[in-house]
Structure 1
Amino acid sequence: MVRKIARETGVGYTRFLGELRRLGINRICRQTVRNILKEEGIDTSPKRSRGSWEQFVRMHAKTLWACDFFTQRVITPRGVVDYFLLVFINVETREIFISNSTAHPDSAWVTQQARNFLMYTADRDEQPTYLMRDRDTKFTAQFDDVLKAEGVKFKVLPIQSPNLILAANESSKASSRNAWTIFLVFGEQHLNDLVLEYVRYYNDGRAHFSRDFLPPSCADPPVENDTIVLDEIVRRERLGGLTRWYERAA
């Protein structure tokens, strides 16, 4: 039981003993707890109580967002140019917000995307409280300052920690891989239009495994109904039919 509490909560000794007393385990003292933790190789210092990364994500998932850059090759009068976009994703709902594109992701552009993200989330009850990002040098101090001014805290990820920012990587890779790689993209506006269409599909129509196959915009599952009447089922599509999903007719 001591091992279980240590690994699942990370509480201090006093709270530890309290949990044991609650379970009717009275013949154990602080030193015994300490000895058990040492034998199991579990850190006994106060820093253990800071909790694991998984605990942090679980506690803040509703208001925790991640962001990352991705690129798309675009045909322009100057030839093929790499355009940059910045994607934000909510860790719990998987909702995404993707910036307009640019061929020059300088400090001014990146800072403006921070403002755009804040405007996008301004009217919701669950305001962003944490933002995960990597150490990409395109993230400037000005970008951070805009978000910090609105109470957003940062989790800047260690180098070579791809698993920690899996959410943002997942959405950016899925976006670039599934949405428009089959398109020839002609110019910045064409790319922005394609991205907007994809975001609408991703948030409103795409089934997400981590959300019990619900799209991010669906807060509650539909009423269970085992009866299928084909005439009542309609197919929706975006991006010229590249993305398709099904709904019951209103």
Structure 2
Amino acid sequence: MSVANRLWGAPRIHGELLKLGFQVSQATVAKYMVRRVGVPSPTWRSFLRDQLDGISAIDMFAVATASFRLLYVIVILNHARRRIVRFDVTQHPTAAWLSRQVTEAFPWDTAPRYLLRDRDASYGFLFRKRVEAMGITEVVTAPRSPWQNAYVERVIGSVRRECLDYIVIFNERHLRRVLSSYVDYYHRSRTHLSLNKDCPEPRPIQPRKVGRIIEIPQVGNLHHRYRRLAA
């Protein structure tokens, strides 16, 4: 109890033990509690876990085209179901463009409580004011600490490893089309370890008696979805 409940003192733990039928003194509880230095504070991991439903994350990555032009992709991810709620492509990621992406990602009353981001200079004054006006609290990661925004970093890594590393991008329109195909696969077909091997958009289990298995190519034949075809 002491390890799992960092904010509990001896009286609280003693009370819980009494409710469980353990007749021990509070002094005994205090003797065997984990010793901590200073005021206990939640870890970064526990913050992300406890606020899972109210956190979204934003990040950008660059893609080089066949003509060596750099395009920038923005990804906005909802932590709860690992859904990509918004992606877009541009040559010039200005603060005004980024603020517009947040507005498009969270229309009406769908804004999350927290928005996790890094310290990229592109998130300028206009972006910060737009986020504040939407009632979102920005959580800015420490310098050179991509692990603090691990979920969206993992998604970006998956996009590269499972798609962009195998495709030559010609222009902005081509990149947007490729990413649209991958995001559809990511949401509807790709199983995720963090979701107990389900998809962000839950995928039903098909019993064996339904019919034979067919193969459906996705993302330009890089991936496939398998489903049973009803007889």
Which of the five TM-score ranges fits, normalised by the shorter chain? 0.7 to 0.9
Deviation at 1:114, TM superposition (A): 1.4
What's the counterpart of residue 60 of structure 2?
69
Aligned to 1:215: 199
How many percent identity over aligned positions? 24
Structure 2 CA distance for partners of 1:236 and 1:84, relative to 1, 3 Å: same
* Greater helix fraction, Structure 1 or Structure 2: 1
The equivalent residue for 1:60 is 51
Displacement of 1:222 after TM fit?
2.9
> 1:222, 1:238 → 2: CA distance?
19
Give the whole-Å Cα distance in 1 for the aligned partners of 2:4 and 2:133: 34
Quote the RMSD (CA, aligned, Å): 2.6
Q: Indicate the residue corresponding to 1:96 in structure 2.
A: 84
Structure 1: runs of 5 or more not aligned: none
Could you list the per-position Cα deviations for residues 82-104 of structure 1 after superposition, in whole angstroms to 9, with x for gaps in the alignment?
11111122223111134221111
Question: TM-score when scaled to structure 1?
Answer: 0.79
1:130 equivalent to 2:130? Answer no
Aligned partner of 2:25 among 24, 27, 34: 27
Counterpart of 2:42 in structure 1 is 51
2:206, 2:228 within 8 Å by CA — same for their partners in 1? no
Name the counterpart of 2:220: 240
Aligned to 2:2: 6
Residue 179 to residue 235, structure 1, CA distance change in 2 (3 Å): same
Give the secondary-structure state (helix, strand or coil) at the position aligned to 1:80.
coil
Distance 1:41 1:160, change over 3 A: farther
For 1:72-87, list aligned pairs within 5 A. 72-75=63-66, 79-87=67-75
Partner of 1:18: 15
Query: Do 2:190 and 2:199's aligned partners in 1 also have CA atoms closer than 8 Å?
Result: yes
Alpha carbons of 1:226 and 1:42: their partners in 2 closer, same or farther (altered >3 Å)?
farther
Distance (Å, rounded) in 2 between the aligned partners of 1:222 and 1:248: 11
Match of 1:106 among 79, 82, 94: 94
Q: Report the CA distance between 1:211 and its aligned residue.
A: 1.4
| Greater relative CO, 1 or 2 (CA 8 Å, sep 6+) | 1
> TM-score with structure 2 length normalisation?
0.85
Once the 2 structures are TM-superposed, how far is the Cα of residue 36 of structure 1 from its aligned partner? 5.1
Judging changes above 3 Å, is the alpha-carbon distance between structure 1 residues 144 and 235 closer, same or farther for their aligned structure 2 residues?
A: farther
The one-letter amino acid paired with 1:85 is V
Count of residues paired in the alignment:
228
Cα displacement (A) at 1:178 = 1.7
Note closer, same or farther for the CA distance 1:158–1:41 as it changes in structure 2 (3 Å cut).
farther
Q: Is the 8 A contact 1:85 1:98 kept in 2?
A: no
Structure 2's unaligned 5+ residue stretches are: none
Q: Contact 2:14/2:29 (CA < 8 Å) preserved in 1?
A: no
Can you list the C-alpha shifts for 1:159-181, whole angstroms capped at 9, x where unaligned? 23332211111111111232133
- In structure 2, relative to structure 1, the CA distance for the partners of 1:67 and 1:103 (3 Å cut) is same
- Alignment match of 1:143 (pick from 127, 139, 143): 127
CA distance in 2, matches of 1:43, 1:246: 53
- In 1: Cα distance, 2:19 partner to 2:206 partner: 40
